[in-house]
Amino acid sequence: MRKYSVFALVKEAMRSHKGWEPHWVSPEPRSSYDVIIIGGGGHGLGAAYYLAKEHGITNIAVIERGWLGGGNTGRNTTIIRSNYLYEESMDIYEHSLKLWEGLSQDLNYNVMYSPRGVMMLSHNTHDMQSFKRHINANRLYGIDNEWLTPEQAKAFCPPLDISKTARYPINGAALQKRGGTARHDAVAWGYARAASDRGVHIIQNCEVTGIRRGPSGEVTGVETSRGFIGAKKIGVSAAGHSSVVMQMAGVRVPLTSNPLQALVSEPLKPIFPCVVMSNTVHAYISQSDKGELVIGAGTDQYHSYSQTGGLQIITHTLDAICELFPIFRRVKMMRQWGGITDNTPDRSAIQSVTPVPNLFVNCGWGTGGFKATPGSANLFAHLIARGEPHPLAAGLTLDRFRTGRLIDEAAAAAVAH
């Protein structure tokens, strides 16, 4: 792999950029691999990268039904934060945030991580009490999170309307300054490039149609649209389709797949300096480096694989955006799309061994999986390599739905998060 640097850029500029190489190679699949990762999103590609980098396993294939990052990795609103309530969540999201901070250097690929601050708006007494509880829990655990008065919130994000007569009045906000955004495509491409450089095979447009099992129940490989491919271990990282893939191995998982929508506006000059979330009125907004306002909406209530959602959901979000930021009332929306999120009953992820030997699953990241990408991938690689979870992810077992040791972020956030 050719290293990206200012010198490489100058050299290529001198010769009409004829020397750049493809980011990754797409070889013909081998007949078998040590590890197959099903799902070529950020979590799957990242797991392959960390397996190669940290665990010395390089005979790996990442099998993707569509194109890299074409699922939720390329469909989310790129919000990164770690100010969750429970220790299990703080462990994994903070691990992830720390990896985000050095990811561009680690991958030699600019993922455009921008710690511009994530501000969560409080609209009522319940929000205030809940956020202050989060802030205290976070600070005791060594994670930054601070309370802002409405005036401080306005100073941090000038377009915000904090007037008393606003439709959704604001009585404060919680701010995590280290939170922010990154460029989602670059995350998928950066991991793919770095993994490919270490010998990982990236196989796109190849759908897994079955999981083959051996005499003692262990996995032996996958049936795909390009034939059978053997594997000693399989990691499933298929987001909204995780239940579909896991059923191929006869494993039931407690997931519901819901559409989640996002949309972007026409490009504007820089006007919005941070990320603002309002769980209470379901509005999530930031501005991309291209200038588009990136807006996230709520989930549809029913389970679906349609990668689309109801217009009433985004209308509701835009109503809220226009009330919170009256300055945006005349902005035109340019594109809208949906992704399929895999939600667990307690709204915490599952990263776990399964009843099937050598089959591992990383799913249930629901509506907040992008921020977890580096941490989730890093710990999933550990799980696949060692066969047992990393201490930071030890609570995210599939077994918790039997033992009752749930991590109830659903109750903590009161909404999908």
Partner 1 sequence: MLLIHCPYCGEDRSELEFRWAGEAHIARPDTISAISDDEFAEYFFMRDNTKGIAWERWRHIHGCGRFFNAIRDTVSDKFLLSYKAGLPRQPVPGSEPAAAPAVEGGVA
Task: Report the residue from 81, 241, 371, 417 that binds partner 1 according to the rule CB under 8 A.
Answer: 241
117/364 with CB nearer partner 1: 364
Among the residue ranges 121-129, 193-201, 254-262, 409-417, the one whose residues contact partner 1 (CB under 8 A): 254-262
Burial of 134 (0-12, 13-18, 19+ CB in 10 A): buried
Please identify, using beta-carbon distances, which residue of 171 and 304 lies nearer to partner 1. Answer: 304
Cβ proximity of 217 and 357 under 8 Å: yes
252/290 with CB nearer partner 1: 252
Among 224, 243, 287, 358, binds partner 1 (CB under 8 A): 243
- Which member of 146, 281, 401, 415 binds partner 1 (CB under 8 A)? 401
**Cα(325)–Cα(347) distance, rounded to whole angstroms?**
29
CB closer to partner 1, 196 vs 243: 243
Least spacing, CB of residue 136 vs partner 1, in Å: 31
Q: Does residue number 225 form part of the binding site for partner 1 (CB under 8 A)?
A: no
Q: Closest distance between partner 1 and the C-beta of residue 112, in Å? A: 34
Q: Which of 255, 285, 353, 416 binds partner 1 (CB under 8 A)?
A: 255
3-state SS of 31-59?
A: CEEEEEEECCCHHHHHHHHHHHHHHCCCC
Tell me which residue of 293, 321, 303 sits closest to 260, measured CA to CA.
Answer: 303
Cα 71 from Cα 207, distance rounded (Å): 14
b (16+ CB within 10 A) / e for 307-316:
bebbeebbeb
Binding residue (CB under 8 A) for partner 1 from 25, 112, 244, 394: 244
Q: How far apart are CA 196 and CA 22, in angstroms?
A: 11
> Token pair 């491409």 is at which residue?
189
Name, in order, each residue with C-beta under 8 angstroms of 416's C-beta and a sequence gap of 6 or more. 260, 298, 299, 341, 343, 347, 366, 367, 368, 410
Q: How far is the CB of 187 from partner 1 (least distance, A)?
A: 26
Q: Minimum CB separation from partner 1 for residue 243, in Å?
A: 4
211 part of the interface to partner 1, by CB under 8 A: no
Query: Is there binding between residue 345 and partner 1 (CB under 8 A)?
Result: yes
CA 325 to chain centre: 26
> Which stretch, 19-27, 33-41, 302-310, 386-394, contacts partner 1 (CB under 8 A)?
302-310
Residue 305 touching partner 1 (CB under 8 A):
yes
Q: For residue 280, how many other CB atoms are within 10 A of its CB?
A: 18
End-to-end alpha-carbon separation of the chain, Å?
A: 37
As measured in angstroms, the least distance from the Cβ of 381 to partner 1 is: 26
# residues near partner 1 by CB under 8 A? 24
Closest to 145 in 3D by CA, of 186, 183, 172, 117: 117
70 binds partner 1 (CB under 8 A): no
Decide if 358 contacts 251 (C-beta within 8 A).
no
In the complex, minimum distance from the CB of residue 234 to partner 1, in angstroms, rounded to a whole number: 20
Q: Supply the minimum distance, in Å, between the C-beta of residue 245 and partner 1.
A: 10
| Cα 371 from Cα 367, distance rounded (Å) | 10
**Least separation, in Å, of the C-beta of 131 and partner 1?**
28
Among 8, 54, 105, 302, binds partner 1 (CB under 8 A): 302
- Residues that bind partner 1 in the complex, under the rule CB under 8 A: 241, 243-244, 252-257, 301-306, 308, 310-312, 345, 401-404
